[in-house]
Amino acid sequence: MLNRLNIRDFVIVDRLELEFDKGFSVLSGETGAGKSIMIDALSMVLGERADAGLVRQGCAKAEVSAEFIISENGPARELLEQADLIEDDMCLLRRLIDASGRTRAWVNGRPATVQQLRTLGAHLVDIHGQHEHQSLSRPQAQRTLLDAYAGATRLARQVAAAWQAWQSTRKMRVAAEADAESIGKEREQLEWQIEELENLAFSEQEWREVSAEQIRLAHTASLVEGAEYAMQALSESDTAALAAVASVQSRLSALVEYDPQLRDILDLVEPAQIQLQEAIYSLRHYQQRLEMDPQRLSEVDARLDAIHTAARKYRATPEDLPATLAQAKQRLDELDTNLDAKALERRESEQRADCEKIARKLSSARQKAARKLSDKVTQSMQALAMHGGEFEVTLASLDECASHGLEQVEFRVAGHAGTQPRPLAKVASGGELSRISLAIETATSEIAQVPTLIFDEVDVGIGGGVAEIVGRMLSALGARHQVMCVTHLPQVAASADQQWQVSKELRDGSAISTVVRLEDRQRVEEIARMLGGVQITETTRKHAAELLHHSG
């Protein structure tokens, strides 16, 4: 919902800071006081067109910011999260326009495009009264509303997903047909590569083992020489280490009985002797296994050469050759399954049938909902001084299933008896459009997702009993949404939960628009003015108080 609206140097407003509540609020005031300027300012911050004429005369720039609470507004939160603009449960939109007509925008303190404001605004506020602000005039919004009213939102998503899958396969099939020759060549090359790599029969483990074996075979002479030297030094020379350690151990053992402190040293020498003996046994065993094997070395060198040749050929490291083989097999599978024109044609046909099957279910739900919604809105129109008027939801069949189904949804309206229904977007009268929108919003209030509804000109050309009906309808909407209305009718104003008075005064020779929230006594005075004009009598005040009491 709209929480705060700040306006600065906008048309005839110098500075306003307004805080709004839930429920139904009205803006009232003398003609020309600037009631609709509030809506124009909000429209600007929601991404509507703006020009230098909106900057208050003599000022360098105009600025509007609007703060919304979005804790329960899933679509708006999702958009902010996708754009990495989420900021707790608040959404702050700000827009500035300078005297040259250049504009800048921010969302939650970060620079944004006007399109981002407009996209977010469609999920935050619905302004009824002028074509450029009204979401219900857009075909997509009408279709979405009908689907929600039909309880078919999930079906609509399934149709969109099925259609996307079908179109993806169609594109692949067209590409496969166009590139049949190049695909054939690629398949032939892949088959040859796979055969070559499979014949190589290579694995990472073999690479490690063969590499280690090649190093060992290539250095056999050095290994034999080193082992022989070690044997000599440890056990076979005149100064062999084992004999020396054994002599030390024997000598110390004889001396331990004279000084027990030598036991600690002896305990260190004895394990050394044992370990040297173990090393000698291992070296002797190692020597017996070592032998020169030129033939095996030649075989290993040849194997390594084959592996390196393949690696260079496929521009990979030897370790990556198994992965190269796997990738070639995967690509061949893709060509066989995803780029085989005949297989794709079969899959495309199946996916088209699936899409149309789901779309027919959606069409059935839409047809039932269209009749029900048409009747319900038409009935509301009769109570809103549109006698003989008619509302209808038309479903125009398409030649082929689209992402949104088998038909185009359009809201059409005949404002009076004897006139032909026309698209809602082409309804000429702002007041008529507002009342039709009120009828639609009332009929669909339980499923509508936009939390804030604003009506301008909804009471143009009506009065008396119809005005009371409009007031009651707006008040009922206020139980589910935040509703605001610019009105000149006391019956409508009396139905509101809150009332704001817009007035205009001269300040330093310039007209300035001001807005104040009215308390109970002030509301009586304002509604009395709306009832009786300039001269307000006690009788008029009493009538105003009764009207407020009765509406409350």
- Kindly report, residue by residue over 278-319, the tens digit of the pLDDT: 887 887 776 666 565 567 667 777 887 888 888 888 888 888
Of 191, 211, 196, 193, which Cα lies nearest the Cα of 319?
211
- R_g of the chain, CA atoms, integer Å: 43
pLDDT value at residue 338: 58
Instruction: Please give the structure tokens belonging to residue 76.
Output: 């708006």
- The pLDDT of 61-82, averaged and rounded, is 91
105-119, 222-236, 345-359, 421-435: range with lowest mean pLDDT:
222-236
CA–CA dist 450, 452 (Å, integer) = 6
**Confidence band of 132 (pLDDT split at 50, 70, 90):** very low
Instruction: Give the least confident one: 178-187, 277-286, 472-481.
Output: 178-187
CA distances, 213 to each of 202, 299, 302, 310 (Å)? 16, 11, 13, 20
What whole-number distance in Å separates Cα of residue 37 and Cα of residue 42? 9
Beta carbons of 547 and 491 less than 8 angstroms apart: yes
Within 13 A of 342's CA, how many CA atoms are on the CB side? 1
Of the ranges 106-115, 172-181, 235-244, the best mean pLDDT one = 106-115
HSE-CB at 469 with a 13 A cutoff on CA atoms is: 17
Question: What is residue 288's predicted lDDT score, i.e. its pLDDT?
Answer: 62
CB 14 within 8 A of CB 56: yes
Most confident residue range from 171-180, 238-247, 382-391: 382-391
Please report which confidence band the pLDDT of residue 415 belongs to, taking 50, 70 and 90 as the band edges.
confident
Nearest to 24 by CA among 481, 471, 478: 478
Q: Is the pTM of this model over 0.75?
A: no
pLDDT at 166: 96
Per-residue pLDDT tens digits for 438-470: 888 888 887 777 899 998 877 777 777 888 888
DSSP state of 384: T
In this structure, are residues 105 and 119 in contact, taking their beta carbons and an 8 Å threshold?
Answer: no
Reply yes or no on whether the pLDDT at 131 is more than 50. Answer: no
Distance from first CA to last CA of the chain, Å, rounded? Answer: 23
Q: What is the dihedral of CA 426, 430, 432, 433, to 10 degrees?
A: 50
Count of beta carbons in the 10 Å neighbourhood of residue 170: 16
The contacts of residue 324 (CB under 8 Å, 6+ apart) are 197, 314, 316
Among 523, 544, 548, 522, residue whose Cα is nearest residue 532:
544
Do the strands 2-10 and 61-69 form a parallel or antiparallel pair, or are they unpaired? Answer: antiparallel
Buried b (16+ CB within 10 A) or exposed e, 402-437: eebbbbebbbbbbbeeeeebeebbebeebbbbbbbb
Give the separation between CA 551 and CA 491, rounded to whole angstroms: 8
Local structure of residue 515 (DSSP, 8 states):
E
pLDDT of residue 134: 61
Q: What does the domain layout of the chain look like in residue ranges?
A: 184-337
